[in-house]
Amino acid sequence: MKRKKLLLLLGSVCLALVLVVPFVGACAAPTAPAEAEAEYRWKLGSAEAEGGWGMIYGHWFEELIEERSGGRIEVTVYPKGTLGTGAHIAELCRNGVLEMSSTGPMSCGPFVTATNIFYLHYKMPGDFNQLLEILNKGEFFEVMKREYAEGGFELIDFTSSGFSAWTSNKPLRTLEDFKGLKFRVMMSPMLVAAFEAYGANPTPMDYGEVYSGLQMGVIEGQENPLNSIHYMAFYEVQDYITMSYHFPFINNLVANPEFMESLPEDIKEMFYEAHWETAVWSTTEWQEEFNAEMLALILEKRPAVTYYELTPEEREPFREAAKGVRPLFLTEEIGGKNAAEVLAAYEANIKRVVGE
């Protein structure tokens, strides 16, 4: 299968205008019939910019579904900034303006409090095939489908764009290094509690404000996968990147329930198959290659950046500190009325897959 769209995304984005001018004359040859219009036109909103992980996920799905449907389906993928924040994109999907949205679970958080489960630190394995199994199979996925449905979404799948790394202007290798650090976090009480446990001063801030916040000193550090650190250019205003392996950044693909109900069975089957194939490809082999490429680009563009991976021994104090945050999820305000069931299913799936 040719991947022309994907290659265009990873390189320069070019726009060509093709003008078709029919020959008019007494002896003009008959024109070819126009290409049939698509029966289905879907809109997918992403919280990432063109070239970022979320947009490449969207375009890969777009190409798969358009090709396999023989042109019956046409998908338009909207990047970060065109439809508002991740929360706006999720709400547009919930309200039926968009058929699908691909964002971090926090964007669905106002309607699905159980998404806070993904911000528990040092729970997930480093094997992304195992991660896909934990998130998308077994009782945990069924429990989360119910939670999302109650919040007004049809959950399609969970994916990951890689482990989040810490960025800062000083080394972050010990709990002492975090003491008093103004550290940006997503707007999750779980993340606030986690970084408080590390000794930091966590500061919730919208993703689009992080660069200027770092530049002006409003915040002194932040966390994101390597691909986001590159595409949002955080490395321009941060001197250190620390791969801590504290949690993989999870993405959820959700759809509008009425949209899903309207699909005939053959289209619905094609929809699920294309999304799952995209999920596996994007979360496993491609994600790892992509993040490695992004790190190489960061270090090439700004050699002054120091990249460091915490050793297992260095991670242990953070792992122990993070354990104290677990009971917070069990409160109804944070984990929802079914928090205990969600956590039990999550931990049982990890044990089933990883064996720990």
Closest CA to 105 of 353, 342, 289: 342
Q: Name 225's bridge partners.
A: 164
Instruction: Output the pLDDT for position 2.
Output: 38
Instruction: Output the pLDDT for position 22.
Output: 35
Instruction: Output the pLDDT for position 1.
Output: 44
User: What secondary structure does DSSP assign to 48-93, as a single string?
Assistant: S-TTSHHHHHHHHHHHHHHHHTTTSEEEEEEPTTSS-SHHHHHHHH
Q: Collapsing DSSP states into helix, strand and coil, what is residue 241?
A: strand
Task: Report, as ranges of residue numbers, the positions in the chain whose pLDDT lies below 70.
Answer: 1-36, 356
Residue 181 identity = L
48-98 confidence digits (pLDDT tens): 888 888 899 999 999 999 999 999 999 999 998 899 889 999 999 999 999
Q: Which helix (H) or strand (E) holds 351?
A: helix 339-354
Helix segments in 217-336, DSSP class H: 226-231, 257-262, 265-283, 285-301, 312-323, 326-329, 332-335
Structural contact between residues 199 and 182, judged by C-beta atoms closer than 8 angstroms:
no
Q: How far apart are CA 271 and CA 61, in angstroms?
A: 9
Angle of helix 285-301 versus helix 53-68 axis, rounded to 10:
140
Q: Name 44's bridge partners.
A: 77, 100
The tokens for 311 are 């050793």
325 dihedral zone (left: phi>0; alpha: psi -120 to 50; beta): alpha
Give the chain's domains with CATH numbers.
39-354 (3.40.190.170)
What CA–CA distances, in Å, run from 141 to 23, 137, 247, 285, 346?
A: 58, 6, 19, 22, 9
Closest CA to 197 of 186, 183, 210, 207: 183
Instruction: Output the pLDDT for position 28.
Output: 36
Closest CA to 310 of 181, 195, 173: 173
Q: Name 329's bridge partners.
A: none
Instruction: Output the pLDDT for position 356.
Output: 64
Q: Which residues contact 326 (CB under 8 A, 6 or more apart)?
A: 120, 343
Residue 277 identity = E
The tokens for 244 are 């801590």
